[in-house]
Structure 1
Amino acid sequence: MRIDGNAAIVTGGGSGLGAATARHLAAEGAKVAIFDFDAERGAAVAEEIGGLFRKVDVSDAEAVGAALESAAEDLGEAPRIAVNCAGIGTAARIVGREGKLSIDVFERTLKVNLFGTFNVMSHAARLISGLEPLDGGERGVIINTASVAFEDGQLGQTAYAASKGGIASLCLPAARELAQFGIRVVAIAPGLFHTPMMQCLPEEVTKKITENIPFPDRLGEPHEYALLAGQIITNPYLNGTTIRLDGAVRLPRR
């Protein structure tokens, strides 16, 4: 499917992987709507690329549906492209100091990362399924963001790894189910990237992290995620799979 001329939504588009993806799709000729909980950052990126912005908590299914309907109206058509980058990175031991449990962290992480992805995917699929099919019968594509943590979860990452594992696991059954509408579903599992979460780390910590990355021996750049997202959109035979984008890294125990 071509990017040029089609409408797209990007969640988490105010920073990091989402912002890079929104910029890339806009540069390729897509009409882009950014969904983000951070109104200041989201609106700034939308203005930069000539797109739309909606402040959205992706864990709120009703709000997601309303935002998608509103964006489709202002874009002049329902989006054929949906890229889910919204998420939170949390770290907490199952049983921490003095016996403190992290059940609240687990619940919040799954609500934002996993339920949020499912909410956007569901509402986007509903709108895409009503569009006219393109050549080959394709109507659209949904790209979700997992993480290498779904396979290599480290100490303190039970909540995060579980949320990203859920995203990876739903990819194939979702692709099989939505195939009847000509909708593809693919997940990207990024490794260690230059995102706001990583950029706040001390230089010595970043150096230690990158020592474990075989090649290229550096953090990934957000535009490399965006490049893969663009390749998924334009390659009609990519479907139902989770692609690791990680420089061949395998995360150690901690």
Structure 2
Amino acid sequence: MYIWCFATLTSCFAQKESISELYTQLDRAIEQSQHYTKLKESSIAQLKELIHQENNPKLLINTYRKIYSEYKSYQSDSAVAYIQKAIVLAQKEGLPAEVAGLKSQLALQYSTAGAFAEALEVLNHIDKKTLDESNRKDYFIAYYHVYGELGFSNIHVDTDLSQNFFSRQNAYRDTLFAILPHHSEDYLMRKEVMLTSQNKWDEALKVNDERLKMCKEGSHEYGIVAYYRYLIYRSLKNEEMKKYWLLKSAICDVKCAINDQLRSGCSPIF
């Protein structure tokens, strides 16, 4: 049965390279990692130059947000610093909806770094009256992430507490399912996670197929989706496909200078 599923569901994304070829690609990427880091630093430096040239507060907030986006999977402390700059400026300019959205992103960054108490502190102090179409998604995603991470981190410590956190995460997932476009990455990722947790691996692979089609191969986004594909094959105990997709993900991470992962679950280690 599993063999039939693999043949049917992975045909669109059949292995283009052998495992040994991917190891070679990863080794080569690691050898050139300083080059990729310099490219990242150059991109950030160009954005920082805009700070001194921008007089429009709203455009400056957007510049801070772009710098945060560059840093968020590269240097978490710097990501926090720049999203906080954006929050302070948005507060000064009297932009409550902007503040709520930025604080939600700050909470997500804290959660990604394992600072769960700080994440919840930020989220619990967001004025719900300021939530609108522009920021609701980020608000619910942040809660979804922090409760999922709390559930995972307590799974071997306190089973009841862990399940309580997962129940809260599921509630926020259902809220997101109700407001997100069904073909969006934010929706599909959470649908894939849900299907994987329900051991519906064939359906999860179909969703992952959709996500891969939306990504440019070699991009940061492709690396993330490849990692989720690895998680499915890890559950299926398919060693070859597990290694294949983890290597694909790792190569993307090195080339995109990714240091911090915005992914629920275990670290990507064989």
The structure number with the bigger radius of gyration is 2
Which has a greater percent of helix?
2
Q: What is the TM-score of this pair, normalised by structure 2?
A: 0.30
Greater per-residue strand proportion: 1
